[in-house]
Amino acid sequence: MKIKFSAFADLKEIVGQKHMEFELEDGATVGDFLAFLLKRYGKPMERFLLKSAGGYWPFLLLVNQQDVRPDNYQKKLHEGDEIIILFPAEGG
């Protein structure tokens, strides 16, 4: 399935553009998408998303403009979903 991804500020620098589409396995979850980003973009993405002590840095993750919290990263994604990741005090 294809999903849309929008990246801003430093995250945009890591992925190379503001708007992208990715192909994921049917039934993929938000957590699977984050794992995909970490695998695809390696150390720069790890430093950006992950704390050295474990877990994620605090960021806002939206799926179709709805906030998805870490305790709901098992949420399934669907064809055409749009994911946006924002960090505090970031914008376009």
| Long-range contacts from 16-21, C-beta under 8 angstroms, 24+ separation | 18/92
Token pair listed for 22: 């990715």
The top-level CATH class assigned to 2-86 is: alpha beta
Tell me the pLDDT tens digit for each residue of 15-73. 999 999 999 999 999 999 999 999 999 999 988 888 766 677 778 899 999 999 989 99
The model's confidence at residue 79, banded by pLDDT at 50, 70 and 90, is very high
Q: Would you kindly state where each structural domain of the chain is located, as residue ranges?
A: 2-86
pTM value is 0.87
pLDDT value of residue 92? 53
